[in-house]
Structure 1
């Protein structure tokens, strides 16, 4: 039997939402993006582009793979929620009437001290969600399916703050950026000639923009929907990809979302320099509370797979990025946002900090901040969180790392299993006394990872 002391967090979202709130009700969390399907007969308001780039195909069902990732998000993002109320959709029910989603969530959160564990409730549809008039939901991203619910932050505003276009016009220091809008109305997208003209006009700037640069779709996440142009060959490849996808993007413009610019994209200069992931909390009065400053991990395709933190460096990093952190908090406060937020910051050769991405939501590296005491009290000064597919079950994973879990060096922040395809998806946090020991333990963890062999996608 696995013996593990309850995990104690330095603070939780429950604590952070109490700062500067003047006694107002804390929001209810809905950290399961795209958990419900919107009415297919209605136009979609909130369009997201990060599913458009598919350069590789796996032998496993891509929908099943994505479902595991999404289900895991609710666990990882809710890991330091504290006593907040989290609402989650149920998945298919087992023989005993329990949802596998529910079982895994409860097992994950049972690791945390009881007085810091979230209050979970499971619903089968948005109609099952009943909130008091003064309570709003805080979400990862706005979605159509729960639009009728009261929100802590206006969904339209939140969507704009999450967009690459919104950052370009924010007034925050960013690399030189060109915004390319569709300039089409809902009726125009039904006209094939206007559609083709718009596509040619939008793609034309890619031919002359100085390499190296980035192409970023308006709503992208974890590196998906972001294309690095590093050569003429890559320029041609990306233009071909966008040429195929742009018609679909433009077709998503309609009467209820045209003001949100769902089909825009940006071209942005590449600035060489050190990049960090800064995470914070913005209070209702606009105060910025520093959470963590991490290095990010990306896979070979440039997709986010985790982040790493050095706890002894946090005070120095807090001072270094204090100014840009407060600039971001002031901007978000002016737009009516409060809650967790993250930003990717690059420091150029000129010593200036530039915001290259703004993640106005809870982010993947947020749990590393509240876990500082847990790790440092055990002499573990470095920590990383990784997300991976695993070929083993949670039970077998826990057996393989029984000692590390028991002594607190390894924490399962999320775990989802799909028996039909024989894969799991986990969010694993690992602590090490130094980088070398951290890398060794991480290598052991990654030795259990895997996914059915991928094959090139020749559709482009």
Structure 2
């Protein structure tokens, strides 16, 4: 099975997808969507690209440990003159300016993704306390969520341990960025470093991060590299023992869907269906079925045939959730409590879709049984298996992604307001930034941003934040319970770096070249980096396009990547994106 087929099998990497099929998405739903590379691709389908590259081989030596630190090298492609990229600011600078707590300390930055479905490698086990329901967790059958599923583990590790961290490392600045190896074979160790180093080599030397490679979260070499504290993107169980800029549990709750619903921010009205307690007995003391289960080292799972207290508890909690969904009239939006990568959201607009959702959720191998099986005495107080059923926002006229940096005093540094991009067929194809509109958009949303920044700062968070906002034609009711009505509705809160955070920090790079618009998106392509760069050599040399992150699977002859493109106007940007789409396997916005 190829990487591409695995990613497609798991559902859209970044999108609103059902467990059984793609439910309809409608214009106001802001999400990351995959679109097959067709000129007339419609919203809700899938999209992608192709690449090829050559690599120098590196081998670990006795003097080179499995983790290494230092500024990246500056490899070049023969005959291609890539411009040096200078960011307007970096995360390092933003943290140092945020207040006295982090002004003079050496911050290590961890940008990896995590999941609760399968170990990424022997040194990076799945999260069992801080649960995350990514697309594979929701969609891949339990029997395939196993340590023996090497293809799935590899595909997730490529994305979570290399692609995502590279993307955020690009804007980190001169701080230690902790990267985790796919595995500890000498060839993989060398390949991991080469991919990250090549990506970051185009940065101005003063803004390149120091890469710290290590096997897993429990083996970060803090003392060896003088790291005082760690700031992180996603809560990983293995980070609990380190000094952190913000605590794990409050941060997990801030990013939860119930946390947003209870925040007092203007969100759509919703019902939170909570789970009571946790399975009352360990597997080996439950029943014959559970005692016979030989998968104790893989995803915890309460079998449908369980006759003991675990199965009884699951049936009670599952019935409560299914009943709440059944009694909710369409349309509505259903969300898991804590998700990553755009998974865990179902947009239900018809009765048929509702029946499909109920069937998928209540199936023996569905996301509800898998999720309830992960509730433990250690995490149940965070209500990780709750589901949120919310109203749809009526009559939307605008769809924005707002990003900003929250300082220690609760004030914010505005970074960007991205807008949705519509093609000639009136289909949503991604989000873009228009630099000339940023000042006006900041003024438009200043109040909402300030309110959100104060909220997250009260919970001890300092760092980047993103909120997804729908603007409606008329004022609508919200979840604040104080009679508030507004035209601005927060539909998602991401207290972490976002996938498009590089765009506002590249304003000077693009506008200095007369380019007022930019977009970033993920791609899956045949081959490697060098072939892709040569295919778009003119755009790369002009600074209109560059690689934000890249990882080549040499065994499959495929690569996954994030690229950034810029253009003079939205029409020109659309033509560039369409050109990439037509020559690619898959594109993910």
Question: What is the rounded CA distance, in whole Å, between the counterparts of 2:206 and 2:564 in structure 1?
Answer: 21
Where is the strand percentage greater, Structure 1 or Structure 2? 1
Equivalent residues of 2:260, 2:493 under 8 A apart = yes
Deviation of the 1:420 alpha carbon? 1.5
Offset from partner CA, 1:315-366 (integer Å, 9 cap, x none): 1110111011011100001000010110111122315211111001000010
Question: What is the rounded CA distance, in whole Å, between the counterparts of 1:296 and 1:86 in structure 2?
Answer: 31
Equivalent residues of 1:92, 1:99 under 8 A apart = no
Q: Secondary structure at the match of 1:221?
A: coil
Judging changes above 3 Å, is the alpha-carbon distance between structure 1 residues 297 and 148 closer, same or farther for their aligned structure 2 residues? farther
Question: What is the rounded CA distance, in whole Å, between the counterparts of 2:552 and 2:134 in structure 1?
Answer: 23
Return 5+ residue gaps in structure 1 as ranges. 299-303, 452-460
Do structure 1's residue 277 and structure 2's residue 388 form an aligned pair?
Answer: no
Question: What is the rounded CA distance, in whole Å, between the counterparts of 1:441 and 1:175 in structure 2?
Answer: 35
Correspondence for 1:118: 209
Do structure 1's residue 209 and structure 2's residue 328 form an aligned pair?
Answer: yes
Offset from partner CA, 1:273-325 (integer Å, 9 cap, x none): 12211111001221111111112579xxxxx9963111111111101110110
Correspondence for 1:166: 259
Do structure 1's residue 343 and structure 2's residue 467 form an aligned pair?
Answer: yes
1:53 to 138, 154, 178: 138
Deviation of the 1:39 alpha carbon? 8.2
Do structure 1's residue 226 and structure 2's residue 345 form an aligned pair?
Answer: yes
Do structure 1's residue 264 and structure 2's residue 386 form an aligned pair?
Answer: yes
Question: What is the rounded CA distance, in whole Å, between the counterparts of 1:3 and 1:177 in structure 2?
Answer: 53
Judging changes above 3 Å, is the alpha-carbon distance between structure 1 residues 361 and 297 closer, same or farther for their aligned structure 2 residues? farther
Deviation of the 1:159 alpha carbon? 0.6
Offset from partner CA, 1:425-456 (integer Å, 9 cap, x none): 110100011122112221222233216xxxxx
Which deviates more from structure 2 when the two are superposed, residues 183-192 or residues 17-26? 183-192
Equivalent residues of 2:184, 2:215 under 8 A apart = no
Correspondence for 1:15: 93
- Report the count of equivalent residues: 445
Question: What is the rounded CA distance, in whole Å, between the counterparts of 2:390 and 2:261 in structure 1?
Answer: 9
Equivalent residues of 1:311, 1:372 under 8 A apart = yes
Correspondence for 2:74: none
Judging changes above 3 Å, is the alpha-carbon distance between structure 1 residues 394 and 77 closer, same or farther for their aligned structure 2 residues? same
Question: What is the rounded CA distance, in whole Å, between the counterparts of 2:163 and 2:124 in structure 1?
Answer: 25
Q: Secondary structure at the match of 2:192?
A: helix
Deviation of the 1:83 alpha carbon? 0.8
Runs of 4+ in 1 over 6 A off after TM superposition: 93-97
1:68 to 149, 158, 172: 158
Equivalent residues of 2:278, 2:313 under 8 A apart = no
Question: What is the rounded CA distance, in whole Å, between the counterparts of 1:193 and 1:127 in structure 2?
Answer: 36
* 1:157-196 correspondence to structure 2 within 5 Å: 157-187=250-280, 190-196=309-315
Offset from partner CA, 1:140-168 (integer Å, 9 cap, x none): 11111232222211000111111001111
Question: What is the rounded CA distance, in whole Å, between the counterparts of 1:44 and 1:388 in structure 2?
Answer: 30
Correspondence for 1:81: 172
Do structure 1's residue 450 and structure 2's residue 565 form an aligned pair?
Answer: no
Question: What is the rounded CA distance, in whole Å, between the counterparts of 1:297 and 1:119 in structure 2?
Answer: 35
Correspondence for 1:414: 549
1:428 to 547, 563, 586: 563
For the pair shown, the structure with the greater C-alpha radius of gyration is 2
Deviation of the 1:36 alpha carbon? 5.9
> RCO greater where, 1 or 2, for CA within 8 Å and sep 6 or more?
2
Correspondence for 2:34: none
Offset from partner CA, 1:98-156 (integer Å, 9 cap, x none): 52111011111111000011111111234432325982211111111232222211000
Correspondence for 1:454: none
Return 5+ residue gaps in structure 2 as ranges. 1-78, 115-119, 145-149, 282-301, 303-308, 423-427, 476-485
Equivalent residues of 2:467, 2:493 under 8 A apart = yes
Correspondence for 1:292: 416
Equivalent residues of 1:186, 1:258 under 8 A apart = no
Do structure 1's residue 154 and structure 2's residue 278 form an aligned pair?
Answer: no
Correspondence for 2:431: 307
Deviation of the 1:89 alpha carbon? 1.1
Deviation of the 1:400 alpha carbon? 0.5
Equivalent residues of 1:183, 1:198 under 8 A apart = yes
Equivalent residues of 1:93, 1:100 under 8 A apart = no
Equivalent residues of 1:214, 1:226 under 8 A apart = yes
Question: What is the rounded CA distance, in whole Å, between the counterparts of 1:116 and 1:176 in structure 2?
Answer: 43
Correspondence for 1:103: 194
* 1:313-324 correspondence to structure 2 within 5 Å: 313-324=437-448
Question: What is the rounded CA distance, in whole Å, between the counterparts of 2:124 and 2:407 in structure 1?
Answer: 34
Deviation of the 1:37 alpha carbon? 5.2
2:574 to 427, 430, 439: 439
Superposition TM-score, scaled by structure 1 size: 0.90
Question: What is the rounded CA distance, in whole Å, between the counterparts of 2:268 and 2:94 in structure 1?
Answer: 31
